[in-house]
């Protein structure tokens, strides 16, 4: 029977609830428990799929095609448990489903209200698909006290009453700020945050206190007294050297032990944290370093490429080196006085990531051309692969007007809108006038690899792979012969042979473009083979520079 751990946050946002949930799940997993993590998002978007990366960071995509919050990426990277559609829900999706039921008459004329209808649906989501998990962790987005989070807090209160303390625990993540002028840590914000939570009927069982300086025993005792928890349940959470050091740090502070004590499981054996110690050792003790340029359009907000950043770190750890990521706005390469060589010559590798729209596209194409002509390792992902195909058409296949229909009308649509494809649900069809939300090719799809290809070698000789997609446009297979005559080989295709999945250049040290998003499946203890190979190529390049 599953036990539920609810994670709330107070005082300010960005305290690291997602990392805390992922780290606690990893610690419980290391003790032999089966875990799952879920995210409640209070915003009114049905999902983050139509939100700007500058608003919300990256959109994380699951195998079953859900567009979700980026915290689900943390969950997967730390536990290796594949997230599902049922692991992320928003207020928008809840209200959408309730209104649809009301319109159908499912409520039999009853007045539809936040309590019980909204809270019942939240509880239904939390309790769905328990399978044989020992622990289900539920992170509540936002900050306690926000109007939009009130229905979620009320649902937690009801679940605590219905399931009882033996099956539920609440961990409240809060801030203990350091006032440099006074030279003191201040506990009052934490006290007020807990008071706000308890006023809503939810008493936290553990407090995770984010602080920049160690929390003295006297302050820990004060927090415990005023917040009505055991002193041992007040856990300090200092800044870590990397996110992958957090599980070990939280274990040292007693977080997992205190959670198990709450559930009367404190006699369980100690966790096996060997793989986390190895990850931290690889991260902290590199034997070299490389510099990779990421030429994108959302580089002003690192969270827009969160999974990409982490996958590069994983690839670096696989090669026991440090990766220095140079974020370059692709628009600067479109200026009249742009000195592309000055920016890219010092780089050991170039990566062009995904994105939407025409802004910065010519700068991405210029980056691809530089990588091709100067034999610099190149990795194109989603739009990055498409721009590699446009660059090849223009400069090696003689199609000077090559472009993408995503950027406007064109006579040479090397890339065009995908109108139909096969999924597990059958034939999917889309048009240019389809809604933007949830209408892309989403989730895991199979690709078949050419047996003598470089990419097949990267995958250990595999003939078939499954990778996650998120795109509305596709390389036009009608241009395959022209592009291959120019040296760009189609080395991965959909099973029906109609959708290009991977391109590469056999005459280049390392030049691969993929339509999917391999970064979504990379983990610190299982780096994605393409990122491990890309960083290995960067290491080789560093010896030539």
Active site residue 227: no
Hey, what's the torsion of the CAs at 376, 498, 434, 300, to 10 degrees? Answer: -10
**Rg, C-alpha atoms of the chain:** 25
Catalytic option among 133, 348, 517, 528: 517
Q: For 124-256, where are the E strands, in sequence order?
A: 135-140, 168-175, 178-179, 184-185, 206-211, 234-238
Catalytic option among 67, 76, 258, 519: 519
Length of the chain: 545
| DSSP for 92-137, written as a single string | HHHHHHHHHHHHHTTTTTPPP-IIIIIHHHHHHHHHS--TT-SEEE
Q: How far apart are the C-alpha atoms of 415 and 431, rounded to whole Å?
A: 15
For the chain, the distance separating the N- and C-terminal CA atoms, rounded to the nearest angstrom, is: 58
Quick one: DSSP state of residue 44? S
Q: How remote is the C-alpha of 470 from its chain's centroid?
A: 13
Tokens 């599902």 sit at which residue?
Answer: 84
Tokens 């690709």 sit at which residue?
Answer: 447
Q: How far apart are the C-alpha atoms of 369 and 287, rounded to whole Å?
A: 31
Active site residue 389: no
| DSSP for 21-39, written as a single string | HHHHHHHHHHTT--EEEEE
Tokens 């992922």 sit at which residue?
Answer: 22
Which residues have CB under 8 Å from 187's CB, separation 6+?
Answer: 176, 219, 222, 223, 226
Q: How remote is the C-alpha of 24 from its chain's centroid?
A: 18
Q: How far apart are the C-alpha atoms of 213 and 313, rounded to whole Å?
A: 27
Tally helices (H) and strands (E) across the chain: 18, 25
Q: Of 73, 59, 87, 82, whose CA–CA distance to 440 is shortest?
A: 59
Quick one: DSSP state of residue 523? B
Q: How far apart are the C-alpha atoms of 483 and 498, rounded to whole Å?
A: 15
Q: Which residues make beta-bridge pairs with 450?
A: none
Q: How far apart are the C-alpha atoms of 417 and 356, rounded to whole Å?
A: 12
Torsion 347-352-357-361 (CA) sign: positive
Distances (CA, A) of 305 to 2, 53, 56: 34, 9, 11
Active site residue 382: yes
Catalytic option among 382, 389, 469, 474: 382
User: Cβ(229)–Cβ(235) under 8 Å?
Assistant: no
**So which residues are the catalytic ones?**
382, 517, 519
């Amino acid at each position: 029977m599953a036990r539920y751990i609810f994670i709330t946050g107070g005082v300010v946002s960005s305290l690291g609830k997602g990392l805390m949930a992922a780290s606690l799940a990893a610690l419980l997993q290391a003790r032999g428990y089966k875990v799952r993590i879920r995210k409640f998002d209070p915003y009114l978007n049905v999902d983050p799929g139509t939100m700007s990366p500058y608003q919300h960071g990256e959109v994380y995509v699951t195998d079953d095609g859900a567009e979700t919050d980026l915290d689900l990426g943390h969950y997967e990277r730390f536990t290796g448990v594949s997230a599902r559609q049922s692991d992320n829900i928003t207020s928008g999706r809840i209200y959408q489903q309730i209104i649809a039921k009301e319109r159908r008459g499912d409520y039999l004329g009853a007045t539809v209200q936040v309590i019980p209808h909204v809270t019942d649906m939240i509880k239904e989501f939390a309790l769905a698909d328990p399978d044989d998990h020992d622990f289900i962790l539920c992170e509540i987005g936002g900050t306690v006290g926000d109007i939009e989070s009130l229905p979620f807090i009320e649902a937690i209160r009801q679940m605590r009453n219905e399931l009882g303390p033996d099956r539920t625990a609440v961990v409240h993540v809060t801030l203990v700020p350091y006032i440099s002028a006074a030279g003191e840590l201040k506990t009052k914000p934490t006290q007020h945050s807990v008071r706000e939570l308890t006023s809503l009927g939810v008493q936290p069982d553990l407090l995770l206190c984010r602080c920049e300086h160690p929390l003295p025993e006297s302050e820990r005792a004060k927090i415990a007294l005023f917040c009505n928890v055991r002193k041992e349940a007040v856990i300090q959470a200092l800044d870590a050297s990397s996110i992958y050091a957090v599980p070990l740090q939280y274990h040292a502070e007693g977080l997992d032990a205190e959670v198990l004590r709450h559930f009367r499981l404190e006699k369980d054996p100690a966790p096996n944290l060997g793989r986390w110690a190895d990850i931290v050792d690889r991260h902290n003790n590199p034997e070299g370093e490389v510099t990779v340029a990421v030429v994108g359009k959302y580089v002003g907000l690192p969270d827009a490429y969160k999974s990409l950043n982490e996958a590069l770190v994983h690839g670096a750890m696989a090669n026991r080196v440090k990766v220095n990521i140079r974020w370059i706005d692709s628009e600067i390469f479109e200026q009249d006085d742009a000195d592309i060589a000055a920016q890219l010559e010092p780089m050991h590798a170039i990566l062009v990531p995904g994105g939407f729209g025409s802004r910065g596209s010519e700068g991405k194409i210029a980056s691809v051309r530089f990588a091709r002509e100067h034999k610099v390792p190149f990795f194109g992902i989603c739009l990055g692969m498409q721009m590699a195909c446009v660059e090849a058409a223009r400069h090696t296949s003689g199609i000077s007007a090559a472009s993408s229909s995503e950027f406007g009308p064109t006579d040479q649509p090397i890339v065009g809108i995908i109108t139909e494809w096969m999924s597990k649900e059958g034939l999917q069809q889309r048009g240019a006038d389809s809604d933007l939300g949830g209408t892309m090719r989403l989730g895991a799809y199979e690709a078949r690899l050419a047996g003598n290809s470089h990419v097949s070698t990267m995958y250990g000789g595999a003939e078939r792979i499954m990778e996650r997609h998120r795109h509305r446009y596709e390389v036009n297979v009608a241009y395959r012969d022209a592009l291959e005559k120019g040296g760009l080989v189609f080395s991965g295709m959909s099973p029906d042979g109609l959708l290009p999945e991977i391109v590469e250049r056999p005459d280049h040290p390392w030049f691969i473009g993929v339509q999917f998003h391999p970064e979504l499946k990379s983990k610190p203890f299982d780096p994605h083979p393409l990122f491990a190979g890309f960083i290995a190529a960067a290491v080789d390049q560093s010896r030539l520079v």
